[in-house]
Structure formats: C-alpha cells, structure tokens
Amino acid sequence: MGSPAAGAPTLGGGTVFAMSVDGTGWALDAASGKKMWTLPAVENLLGSDTGPAPAVTASNVIFPFATGIMLAAQRDTGAALWQAAITGNRLGRAYANSGAITGDPVVTGGVVYVGTQAGRTGAFREDTGEMLWTAEDGAVNPPLVVGGSVFVVNDEDKLIRMDASSGARIWAVPMPYFTASKPKRYAQIYTHFGPVLAGGRLVTVSSDGLVRQFDPASGAVVGQAALPGGAASSPALAAGMLFVVNGQGQLLAFR
C-alpha cells in the first residue's frame, strides 16, 4: 500500500476497503489481495493508524479521515463522488483540537451519520454529501441509528439520544468521567464503548469495569454487571451473546 494502514478495513462483496495513513483509499480483492482501484490521496487528509473504518453500502464507499473529512467513491470503480467536512471545537479539551472522526460512519436510509471527538455529530446525504444537520455532541464510537433516533456516547462521556431527522437532543445521561474525584488529580478519563442494542436495551461497556443497560426511551439505567479488567474494545453481538475484550487482553462473553 505504500504506507501503513489507517484503522480497520471493511469487507464488502469480496472486496476489502481500507485507508492508508497518507490519505489514500484502497479497494483490494479479498481473495488475492490484488489492487482493484485507489482513491488518490488529497493533501492534508492524513489517516490515523487507529482511525475508523470505511462505510460500505450497495453502491458507495465512504472513507473517514483524521481531519474530519469524508470522501465518497463509487464502490465498483473508485470514481470520486463527493467530499464533506464535519468540524467542531470542544473548548477546554486538548483532544478536541484534532477534530478527528472517531467512529466508523454509519449509513442507513440514504443518510451518513458520523461523529468527531471535537464535539460534533452530523448527518449527510449519501448520494451528494449534503449536510443535513450537525449537533454539538461528538461521537467517540460509531453512532447507533435505530427507531428514528441516533444514540452515541459523546466526547464528554454522556450517553445521548438525538432525533435522527434533526439532530435535536432528546435526553442525556451522564456516565463516569474522570478516574479521580479530586480536580487536582484529573489526569485520565474513563472510556465507554457502544452503545449497541440488545434485547430491547442499550448496552455500553466501560473501562471502569461495568456493563450498563439503559432504557432507549428514557435513558434510565435498567441493569448493570461487573466487567473484570474493564472494557478495552467496543462490544460485539453474536448468537445471543455480547463479546468484549478487557484491559487484560481477555475475550469475555455475556448472555
């Protein structure tokens, strides 16, 4: 690829879609690894080696970059379709200065939902890249879009529910933030992964060692369980189980 990969790849229809840290989008044959096409690098659209993965739809692929820029291309040919930016600036937070897209874009109903760590989540038309709305809540993980709502853990460690058509906030639930209770010891913040929807409940996993369950309608906490070692990855759902990697590198399963 000429430079290291930026974030995780996405597999779609026998093709692997990936980004490199020099800002190039790649399509590779999954069976042979042969290059099918590249989307040429654009100046200053550098990727991150821990960045989000491309979003792949029936006809398009959307590449998210560390600078808050998305590039869309035709899935089969790599022909560029549009470029869009999502920008913001969460005052008082050093991490917000980068404006990086921090969660995989999610595409549903012809709309691309994406968030940054700089205090912004937005919705864009998949076909043109036109911005439909932005909200002053950054999404540090992929947004969960379901039932006309967008659910995110924002850049201030709050679980947020927004209206999917407007971005208006419906409710917000604070989650543990700083690992120390005294301001002079504020050095590290907890990391919360998710949410995912399981059994009609929103589920988050956290580095503070808890799996939390919330009512999607109200945001009320309806359950929690211990997570030994704390979460170090986003949760995955399969076969009625929730899987998560903890801070000790162990794969844990919850039913």
Domains, the chain:
175-255 (2.40.10.480)
pLDDT in tens, 197-243: 999 999 999 999 999 999 999 999 999 999 999 999 999 999 999 99
Please give the share of the chain, as a percent, with pLDDT higher than 90: 66
pLDDT digits (tens, 9 = 90+) for 53-69: 999 999 999 998 877 88
Give SS3 for 168: coil
Query: Which residues lie below 8 Å from residue 91, measured CB to CB, with a gap of 6+?
Result: none
- d(CA 78, CA 107) in angstroms, rounded, equals 18
Quick one: pLDDT at residue 145? Answer: 97
Evaluate whether 95 touches 89 at the Cβ level (below 8 Å).
no
Question: Which residue's entry shows tokens 């042979």?
Answer: 32
> pLDDT value at position 144?
97
Write down the pTM of the prediction.
0.88
C-alpha 116/C-alpha 185 separation (Å) is: 26
> How many other CB atoms are there within 10 angstroms of residue 117's CB atom?
23
pLDDT digits (tens, 9 = 90+) for 91-144: 555 444 555 788 889 999 999 999 988 789 999 999 999 999 999 988 888 999
Q: pLDDT of 147-183, one tens digit each?
A: 999 999 998 899 999 999 999 999 999 998 776 555 5
